[in-house]
Homo-oligomer: A and B are copies of this chain.
Amino acid sequence: MHNFQAVLETIYHDAINADDKGKVATYIPELAHIDKGNLGIHLRTSDGKEYGVGDYNKPFSIQSISKVLALSKAMSLIGEDIWERIDVEPSGNPFNFLSLLEIENGIPRNPLINSGAIVIADVLISNLKNPKEDFLNYVRELTGDNTINFNKAVAHSEKVTGFKNYAAANLLKSFKNLNNPVEDVLDFYFHQCSIEMTCSQLSKAFYLFANKGKCLKNKLHITEQQVKRINALMLTCGFYDEAGEFAFEVGLPGKSGVGGGIVALLPEKFVISTWSPGLNIKGNSKLGMLALEQFTTKTKLSIF
């Protein structure tokens, strides 16, 4: 039996004193000014116990972490039909993100890279009555917290600077892999990414992936089989081109975002969330990666 609170405090202490805290992402101007001295860690075990240190109750922009929640919502709506429009393999290509899409005829490599997540956004728009509200409500329901919201300023910031996402969406459209107008899809996508959550909210929101598809309220959102698919995708594709490194260093399915958040989980055991806005060269939170690596090393709780 682990004394989780003590473990979190130790790793927090080690991480916060690191000389190199990474670099805050600047390509979304609205996110560029956040203090990289922030570090929060939050652990929620499957039996409902919670442990937190540092800034685990400060909200941050979840960014790409939202892709996992969007995927689960889309799977709950249209099931396996998704895989006619998106593949499930790692992309392995940091340096030319549109090339593969072009060569592979507009079929994104997986739903956790931008082009794949844009297709998922398209699925949600086609299948939700009020896409933005309904998706937000889904996240609120998973978390049991109605205070969660979009950050309109961040969404707008991406809208006026997100040229690579416009390039990807238009390329998808040219391959007829978007059914809705580019503007509508990206408006949804930028809102989805702008959702703000705290570490402790994230740990709750991702509980269904550690609990066979059932959320905190014991409601079944996706099947056990779908959970397995999503966890496999997080493990193989959840960390940009550092997925292999994360699988080794941490050994848990997880997802990072350029806002500095990371969430990871061990099925039937726990969900752990970290936030620190300084990123390493691959775009993953520097202190977050360090903390998670230390956590699985110290507790020996990983899938391997």
Residues of A participating in the B interface, judged by any CB pair closer than 8 Å: 87-93, 95-100, 102-103, 109-110, 163-164, 166-168, 170-171, 173-174, 182, 227-229, 231-233, 235-237, 241-245, 247-248, 251, 253, 267, 302-304
Q: How far is the CB of A23 from chain B (nearest CB, A)?
A: 19
| Chain B residues, Cβ within 8 Å of A102 | 95-99
Evaluate contact between B95 and A92: CB separation under 8 angstroms: no
| Chain B residues, Cβ within 8 Å of A89 | 90, 92, 241-245
Contact of A167 among B171, B245, B248 (CB under 8 A): B171
Evaluate contact between B174 and A163: CB separation under 8 angstroms: yes
| Chain B residues, Cβ within 8 Å of A93 | 92-93
Evaluate contact between B236 and A247: CB separation under 8 angstroms: yes
Which of A98, A233, A242 neighbours the largest number of chain B CB atoms within 10 Å of its CB? A98
Interface residues of A: mostly helix, strand, loop or mixed?
helix
Q: How far is the CB of A255 from chain B (nearest CB, A)?
A: 15
| Chain B residues, Cβ within 8 Å of A251 | 228, 232
Which of A171, A182, A233, A243 neighbours the largest number of chain B CB atoms within 10 Å of its CB? A171
Evaluate contact between A171 and B164: CB separation under 8 angstroms: yes
Contact of A98 among B95, B167, B231 (CB under 8 A): B167
- What are 6 A-B pairs at a CB distance below 8 A? A89-B241, A92-B93, A164-B171, A233-B244, A235-B236, A236-B236
Which of A89, A171, A173, A233 neighbours the largest number of chain B CB atoms within 10 Å of its CB? A89
Evaluate contact between B98 and A98: CB separation under 8 angstroms: yes
Complex: chain B residue closest to A102, CB-CB: B96
Q: How far is the CA of A227 from the CA of B163 in the complex (A)?
A: 35
| Chain B residues, Cβ within 8 Å of A166 | 166-167, 170, 173, 182
| Chain B residues, Cβ within 8 Å of A98 | 98-99, 102, 167, 171
| Chain B residues, Cβ within 8 Å of A247 | 232, 235-236
Q: How far is the CB of A181 from chain B (nearest CB, A)?
A: 10
Q: How far is the CA of A227 from the CA of B248 in the complex (A)?
A: 10
Complex: chain B residue closest to A247, CB-CB: B232
| Chain B residues, Cβ within 8 Å of A173 | 163, 166
Q: Besides A163-B171, A232-B304, 15 other CB < 8 A contacts? A: A88-B244, A89-B242, A89-B243, A89-B244, A90-B90, A92-B100, A95-B103, A99-B102, A166-B167, A167-B168, A170-B170, A232-B247, A233-B248, A236-B243, A303-B303
Q: How far is the CB of A168 from chain B (nearest CB, A)?
A: 7
Which of A182, A233, A304 neighbours the largest number of chain B CB atoms within 10 Å of its CB? A304
Q: How far is the CA of A163 from the CA of B98 in the complex (A)?
A: 14
Q: How far is the CA of A109 from the CA of B245 in the complex (A)?
A: 12
